[in-house]
Amino acid sequence: MTRFSLFFMFLAGFSAYMFAQDVRFQIDVITHMNTANQLLEKDDTFYAATSGGLLIRNADGSEEVYNVKDEIRDHRLSSMAISERNIIALGSTFGNLAFIDRSDNTVLTDQNLLGNEIVDMEMISDTLWVLTTQFVSVYLYSESLQRFQFRES
């Protein structure tokens, strides 16, 4: 048997072994929660919009974290507001908006303000006022769609 034949048999056996292995990829999103840009407290629950995402500390001491792995397009949060419907609106330094419905933890995003740094937000009833460095925008809650919709800047 030649060296080539031995090498080929080794390569074929090794390839069959490698492709038979169960490969699992796990991607972790690691961000820091050091810089809290806005803090809110509602119903004994503490909310922090940070440079690494949203940190929620519940009354029982448990914590929840929302960041880009949870479909929030940008984890550099600059502001937030919470509606009476228990929907959290999150604004980022790049103009991305995310809405988290706490009843089922669904996340919806909006990019109408993309490229405009969101400075602050205020929720009054079913109206969300969003202040950017350039203008003020209005979002209204739609009963039929069950979400906030961009109205005007």
pLDDT in tens, 100-118: 999 999 999 999 999 999 9
Q: How far apart are CA 27 and CA 138, in angstroms?
A: 36
Reading the block at residue 81, the tokens are 């507001």
This prediction has a pTM of: 0.76
Q: What is the mean pLDDT of residues 55-62?
A: 92
Residue 75 banded pLDDT, cuts 50, 70, 90: confident
Q: How far apart are CA 42 and CA 121, in angstroms?
A: 16
Instruction: Please check the confidence at residue 20 and state whether its pLDDT lies above 60.
Output: no
Instruction: Please check the confidence at residue 26 and state whether its pLDDT lies above 80.
Output: no
Instruction: Please check the confidence at residue 68 and state whether its pLDDT lies above 90.
Output: no
More confident residue, 6 or 127: 127
Q: What is the mean pLDDT of residues 132-145?
A: 95
Q: How far apart are CA 99 and CA 81, in angstroms?
A: 10
Share of the chain above pLDDT 90, in %: 61
What is the chain's mean pLDDT, rounded?
A: 85
